[in-house]
Amino acid sequence: MRVLLLFIDGFGLGSNNPEINPIVRFGLPTFNQLFGQPMTYDIGSILTPERCIIPIDATLGVPGLPQSATGQAAILTGLNTAKIMGSHMQAFPGPQLANIITETNIMKKLTAIGLPATSANMYTPNYFELVAKRKRRHSAITLAALSTGLPLRSLPEMEINEAVYQDITNATLPDFGIGHLPVLSPRQAACNLVNISRKYSFSIFEYFQTDRAGHKQDWQHAENILGILDEFIDTVYKQLPADTLMIITSDHGNFEDMGVKTHTLNKVPLIALGYQAQKTVGAITDLTGIVPALVAVLGKDDLCD
C-alpha cells in the first residue's frame, strides 16, 4: 500500500455563497462529481469504501485563528502542536517547533521502519543559499522531508519529470530566474506526481497558492488556481494506482472566505480517495488523527504482505 498526500494550504469548507467563496463561484467540478455536491460546510461527512470526505477541526481546542506552522506540524506529527506550543504559530516553525517536527514526523517514522517517504516538491537551486541568508525559512513539510535524509528535489529531477513545482505548472519559475523549463499542463504535472508516488510508500506535495490568494483576496488568482487544481486533482485521481490511497487536506481555512484577509475558523476537508479510504480515515476528527491512521495502515500492510 502507498499513500499520496496532497496538502493544500488554507483550504477550508466555507459557506455556499458565491459572493465570498470562490469554490462556489467558480466551481471544482472534480469534487462535485466525486461527492455529488459543492465542497462547502453543508457537505458534512460522506463515507464510502473508496471515496470519503470528512470536515475536520483545525483549531485543536486552542483559542485564536489556526496557523500554518502548528497546523502543518499537527498533520505531520499527529501531536496537538498548537496546545504544546501554547498558541497557533504562523507560517514557518521556530526552533522548538522545528525540533518536534524533525524528531516525530510521519516521513521520518516511516523511513525508520523501511517505508520510504518523499516530498515531490521542486526547490529552486538557490533554496539553501536563501535559507542560509535568512531570506527563506523551511516550512514544516520541508523540515519533515529533510528529516528523512533524502535530498530535496530540484532542477535535475524536474528535467526528467520527477518533481512538481509549488505552482504545479512551472509558470512562475521565470520570476525566480529559471526560464528554460517548459510550462506544464496540470495534467502533465499530475502524471509526474503519480509516477513519483509509485516509488515510495508515502509521498507528499505541498501547494500554497490557495493561502496566498486568500490573504490577498485575489479573485482572479483564485479562479486561475481552481482551474489548475481541478485538472491536477482529477488527473491524479484517475491515474491513481490500485494500491494507492490519495489524501487531500489542509492546515486551516482561508481561501474559502474571500470576505476576510485572514485565516478562518472553518473546518478543513479530509478527503480520502482510493485504496482503503474509509477504513483508514473513517474515525479521524481533527488534524492530529491523520498520522496515527496512516502509520497504522502502512505499518500493518508492511507486516502482512
* Residues found near Zn ion in the complex (CB under 5 A): 211
Cα 246 to chain centroid, rounded: 11
- Least CB distance from residue 208 to Zn ion, whole Å? 8
Q: How far apart are CA 95 and CA 279, in angstroms?
A: 36
Q: How far apart are CA 92 and CA 134, in angstroms?
A: 12
Nearer to Zn ion, 118 or 139 (CB): 139
Cβ neighbourhood burial of 128 (10 Å; 0-12, 13-18, 19+): middle
Residue nearest to Zn ion (CB): 211
Nearer to Zn ion, 68 or 201 (CB): 68
Nearer to Zn ion, 198 or 219 (CB): 219
- Least CB distance from residue 59 to Zn ion, whole Å? 15
Nearer to Zn ion, 30 or 249 (CB): 249
Provide the edge-to-edge strand list for the sheet that holds 268-274.
Answer: 46-48, 51-56, 268-274, 244-249, 2-8, 202-207, 117-119
Amino acid present at 77: T
Nearer to Zn ion, 11 or 202 (CB): 11
Cα 160 to chain centroid, rounded: 23
- Least CB distance from residue 67 to Zn ion, whole Å? 7
Nearer to Zn ion, 147 or 266 (CB): 266
- Least CB distance from residue 97 to Zn ion, whole Å? 16
Query: Length of the chain in residues, anyone?
Result: 305
- Least CB distance from residue 9 to Zn ion, whole Å? 7
Q: Which residue is it, cell 458534512?
A: 44
- Least CB distance from residue 252 to Zn ion, whole Å? 7
Query: Do 38 and 44 contact (CB within 8 A), yes or no?
Result: no
